[in-house]
Amino acid sequence: MSAANNRECEGRVAIVTGASRGIGTAIAERLAEAGARVAVSARTLDPVDKYEGSLSETVERIRAAGGEVVAIQADMAKAEDRQRLVAKTIAQLGPVDILVNNAAITYYMPFTEFTEKRYRLMFEVQVRAPYELAQMVVPGMRQRGEGWILNITSRAGVHPQGPPFNPMYRDYGFSVYGMVKAALDRFTTGLAAEVYDDGIAVNSLAPWDNVATPGASAHDLVKNFALEDISLMAEAALLLCSGDPKTLTGRVAYSQPLLAEQQRRPRPR
């Protein structure tokens, strides 16, 4: 079965963090295509030399395709920016129906070399920020009797199997990255239980294989690993941001298995 032809998110308001490039951009574009009014957020608005893509370019593409979008520059490591993101989204677009926590900052190195500053920053952006943003949008979702929260995670959150252990876990410095993603997944399932009776779906979503985004490529995450097209993550995200909250919630889901289970394919571009 191909992707649904209706606009599943018509009239809804979505926030997508980390939407200047890669998976965040793809999800924002897919939600806008499905009818959502989207607030996209990132630390910087205009292009930077380090990476391809920018928040302003995401906005241009969505508007060129006929979507409604606003850009809100915000650093998810700062509590005041998180609060401003939600407040400005509500002021410019309306109450938030969909929250996609995609923003991330990641360092890969042996745990003995991790500084406290980097450790705290990873937890602030990838655990505290999703938690706090959810705290701000859930009350409105409860009042309206529906809502969708999606946390972008990773298979790195799964416990390494061993001994013997895969050399990847020894050589790539994944321990702290795995910790933040495991924490995010546990928050997802716990919150899903808390808000189930309110009609709010809460899920985590990770690529099944690696996605070659500008950020991932900079960290060599795609070297020697199987790859998947970014459209698979975008379509799976749409599914989890529009599905029935009574049946499609509390998942730590992976793009390809989820789409196969739901008999859904990305929309041709």
- Tell me the pairing of strands 147-152 and 200-206: parallel
For 10-37, letters b (16+ CB in 10 Å) and e give eebbbbbbbbbbbbbbbbbbbbbbbbbb
DSSP notation for 29-51: HHHHHTT-EEEEEES-SS--SSS
Query: Active-site residue among 107, 131, 172, 177?
Result: 177
Instruction: Kindly report the length of the chain.
Output: 269
Pick the closest to residue 175 from 220, 222, 113 (CA basis).
Answer: 113
d(C-alpha 166, C-alpha 185), whole Å: 22
Cβ atoms of 145 and 199 closer than 8 Å: yes
Q: Does 177 qualify as catalytic in the annotation?
A: yes
SS3 15: strand
Q: Which residues are catalytic?
A: 177
